[in-house]
Copies of this chain bind each other. A is one copy, B any other.
Amino acid sequence: MATLKDVARESGLTVSTVSRILNNRGYISDNARQKVADAMEELNYRPNEVARSLHRKSTNMIGLIVPHIRHPYFAEMISNLENQAYKKGYRILLCNSQRSEREQEFIDMCTGNQVAGIILCSGTLETKKFGRVNIPVITMERFRDNGTASVECDNRQGGELAAEKLISCGCHNLLQVGNIANQPMPADTRAEGFRSVCEREQANFVEVSVQEAQYYNMRYSEILEDALQKYSQTDGIFASSDVIAAQALQACRKLHISVPDQMKIIGFDDMQIATITTPQLTTIHQPVKEMAEIAVSLLHDAVEGKLIPRRTVLPVHLVERETT
């Protein structure tokens, strides 16, 4: 492989001039810059980023930890984060944490590989494990006492909007489904908002949690069919993701419950899946693109030592389609 010395020889310049050009330091003539560019092209020389990182004490990588890659919400979030990171000159080191052990291992790996910062979309990890991480940590959808900053959508507002909509459509017996039993997650706050409106409006409601395995396999049909049989008076469902709402539709179909006549359904996220079901899903729109944009900007500012907001909460809104 070609070295810096080879580039210097080929371009007829000194090693220190070439180094200055590559690092963009001091005055450089266009002529010299062109010579180096030509020599690099000719020799297929690529600066050794690993060596440069050692010098800088950090790399241009962002460690991205997600609990789930194939879930449409996370796929969309990863895509947006990657795109924003690219625009700011960062690369994404991707980790599917799944279980908390892998999350800890990945954090160790990130710091070992000297990433510029971490974006954490996963929440299974105990907070104390972050105590010793001395790089910026931006949490998505969870606020952490010892994270650098969090970017969230207003999950409580989302739950409130869903309850208000179902009640205004004439539903009397509501079912909220989607949080994982004994595991803190954004769906809990959605459920809280939903509950508060139900209580205020004195609407009947039940809450159904899912199992961790169902979440990771994205298979909810069994639990939904059971719930609809157990709570047979149900006439309105609020699911904490579009994936669950789509499967609630299927459960209704199987049990010969007509949507939206006999049952109204509202999802959460507003991913493409919401427009692919029959009927199409009414859902709560999360501003994923804007959340990703803000997360990468905050991380970048934190890397540069700027003061950044501890908590950023974006609004959501209801998108009405055919299930209400």
Write the residues of chain A forming the contact surface with B, with a CB cutoff of 8 angstroms: 1, 44, 46-51, 53-54, 59, 61, 64, 68-72, 74-76, 78-79, 82-83, 86, 91-96, 102, 108-109, 111-114, 132, 134, 218, 243, 246-247, 249-250, 253, 272-273, 276-278
Question: Are B96 and A50 in contact (CB-based, < 8 A)?
Answer: no
Question: Are A75 and B82 in contact (CB-based, < 8 A)?
Answer: no
Within 8 Å by CB of A277, from B68, B70, B243, B277, lies: B277
**Stoichiometry, copies per complex:** 2
Task: Return 8 A-B CB contacts under 8 Å, by A number.
Answer: A48-B54, A68-B79, A69-B75, A74-B75, A82-B96, A92-B94, A93-B94, A94-B94
Within 8 Å by CB of A44, from B49, B114, B132, B278, lies: B132
Within 8 Å by CB of A75, from B50, B72, B92, B134, lies: B72
Chain B residue numbers with a CB within 8 Å of A61 are 93
What 7 pairs between A and B have smallest CB-CB spacing? A69-B79, A75-B75, A49-B112, A278-B278, A70-B79, A49-B113, A94-B94
Question: Are B247 and A276 in contact (CB-based, < 8 A)?
Answer: yes
Known: A93-B94, A247-B276. 10 other contacts (CB 8 A): A48-B54, A49-B112, A50-B53, A71-B75, A78-B78, A91-B109, A243-B276, A250-B278, A273-B273, A278-B278
